Amino acid sequence: MTDMERRGRRAPLTQTGTIKIGLFKKVSCEIRDLSSGGARIIAPDDIDLPEEFYLRTEKKTRLRPCLRRWQSGRETGVEFI
């Protein structure tokens, strides 16, 4: 996917986020790029991300539903739905 196909221009950054999986599991992550349509996150090695999960950035209070679009090692590209 190119920048032209994305729903928003990515802004590089480094901030902490929280991944919510299921009802009770919460995991810290790093957010490296963020746009209105998605993000690139770095998750811990021992986490197997499902197809759908929620992400909260450190500056937002609400959870954003996400679709996992690609994964390479600890890096994952997500689309906000």
pLDDT in tens, the chain (81 residues): 544 455 566 666 889 999 999 999 999 999 999 998 999 999 998 888 999 999 998 887 789 999 999 999 999 999 999
Residue 58: per-residue pLDDT: 84
Report pLDDT for 60. Answer: 78
Q: How many other C-beta atoms are found inside a 10 Å radius of the C-beta of residue 56?
A: 18
Tell me the residue ranges of DSSP E strands in the chain: 11-21, 25-34, 38-42, 52-57, 64-72, 75-80
Query: What does the pLDDT read at residue 61?
Result: 79
DSSP 10-25: -EEEEEEEEEEETTTE
Answering whether pTM is above 0.75, one says yes
